[in-house]
Amino acid sequence: MLEERYEKTEAGRAEIKSRDLVQARVARNLLLVIDAGKTGGDWLALVQGAAPADLELLLALRLVQVAAGAPPTRPMAGASSRLTGVPTSSLDFTQLYTALSAFAKQQGLLKGYKLALAVEQCQDIAQLQTLALDVVDRVRASKGDAAAHELRATLGFN
């Protein structure tokens, strides 16, 4: 997802004018600037506060799409190789999916919705574990080490 180049859809261009679907400032800023000139990861790095969940939200709402003629996504095996040397969860896909979904419900409407969308888009255990570790990092940054440690244990990262 981060290696692909994206472009706005007609719905995305209409959303810029109407402001009906995307209320979060970071996601709106991402929608405003995104084009096929850079990869999704590049845009996330350039828009302050943007996270993969923001791009996933735009994709889920079909406001952006993979740019025509863009290079294909790297194979899923690439996601597994990114986890080399990274802790892995003791939970299987279904258990980790359920735990992340339950955590999302506790996060309030907007944050919970964005996280739930991100969980839904994970297609294998490697993507789910990468998302889980990202969520743990965000919890550490916002609520501290104790909360991150508790979530880490809940998600099976001992």
Tens of pLDDT along the chain (158 residues) come to 788 899 999 999 998 888 888 888 889 889 988 988 888 888 888 888 888 989 988 998 999 999 876 554 443 333 433 444 567 888 888 898 899 989 989 988 888 888 888 888 888 888 888 888 888 888 888 888 898 899 999 999 87
Same domain, 85 and 130: yes
Q: Which of 45, 66, 87 is the last residue of a domain?
A: 66
What pLDDT shows up at residue 37? 86
Same domain, 126 and 94: yes
Place of tokens 């944050």: 111
Residue 128 is assigned to a structural domain of this protein: yes
CA 102 to CA 94: how far, in whole Å? 12
Residue 71 is assigned to a structural domain of this protein: no
Same domain, 81 and 133: yes
Same domain, 135 and 89: yes
Same domain, 119 and 146: yes
Structural domain boundaries, residue 39: 6-66
What pLDDT shows up at residue 86? 60
- Kind plus residue range of the DSSP H or E element containing 78: helix 76-82
Place of tokens 């261009």: 13
Q: How many helices (H) and strands (E) does the chain have?
A: 9, 2
Counting the structural domains of the chain, the total is: 2
Predicted TM-score (pTM) of the model is: 0.48
